[in-house]
Amino acid sequence: MPRIQLLNRVLASNDALAEEFRKQFDKEKITAINVMSAPGSGKTALIEKTVAHFKDKLGIFVIEGDIKGDLDAKRVLKAGGKVTQINTDGACHLDAFMLSRVLNKVDYKKLDLLIVENVGNLVCPAEFNLGTHYNVMLLSTPEGVDKPTKYPLMFSKADLLIINKIDLMPYVDFDFKALEKSLKLIRPSLEIIKVSCKTGEGLSDWYRWLTDHIPQTARRKPRNSGKRKAHSG
């Protein structure tokens, strides 16, 4: 069978399952976010800050995707989050079938916000629908402004672009005007928020964006039932 036909079948099956997830999220009034970026852009740092900020206001669950290990899950756990780790064992992305192993065990009644941290990669994660409502992408200033030109699919699928590590601007060559120019050719309406997860600058804008995209914010207060544990999916 030709490879392209097989890939189309895989994507179609993935999309069908992702659509079932979306229907369930909508039914339970849960906002689901897929966080994507290259390795080292600051996805986990952003999630840590987000969990710490909202943990007493919202029911939050985090799914961590990595090829190996649970380092990121432990960081989210330390920040006070409920989290499950998925190891892809070589796959460069998460897909709906991987998520199903976790979501089938999640108590949706206690959730307002589901955050999925995808595998660090600027290619494959953009190709697989997870049923989430929003794709939030991070680009760190040390990576440079050429990434939209090199990886257009990722940027075209983003609903929000977060520029992280703006505290490093004095030390790196990052031209915002050049970035905006390239983005106009790919995703003209893409909203941009500038933050530093290290200093906290700009995070209030991110929290505001998130609050605006969560229906009936803080309608459930998460229940803390003793010590949390990170689980591998």
Q: DSSP string spanning 43-75?
A: HHHHHHHHHHHHTTTS-EEEEEEESS--HHHHH
| Biggest CA pair distance of the chain | 53
Question: From CA 133, how far away is CA 212, in angstroms rounded?
Answer: 13
Q: Tell me the domain boundaries of the chain.
A: 9-213
**pLDDT tens digits, one per residue of 59-92:** 999 999 999 999 999 999 999 999 999 999 999 9
What's the CA gap between 16 and 116, in Å, rounded? 19
> Against a cut of 0.85, is the pTM above it?
yes
pLDDT tens digits for range 81-128? 999 999 999 999 999 999 999 999 999 999 999 999 999 999 999 999
Read off the pLDDT band of 137 (50, 70, 90): very high
pLDDT-wise least confident of 115-124, 144-153, 210-219: 210-219
67: tokens are 């090829």
Mean pLDDT of the chain: 91
pLDDT for position 224: 47
10-16 long-range contacts, CB within 8 A, separation 24+: 11/127, 11/128, 13/97, 14/95, 14/96, 14/97, 14/128, 14/129, 15/96, 15/129
Is beta strand 31-36 parallel, antiparallel or unpaired with respect to 134-140?
parallel
The fold for domain 9-213 equals Rossmann fold (3.40.50)
Structural tokens at position 129: 């629908």
- List the one residue out of 34, 75, 29 whose CA is nearest residue 52: 75
Q: Where are the beta strands (DSSP E) in 141-229?
A: 160-164, 191-194
Give the confidence band of 10 by pLDDT, cuts at 50, 70, 90.
confident
pLDDT at position 136 over 50: yes
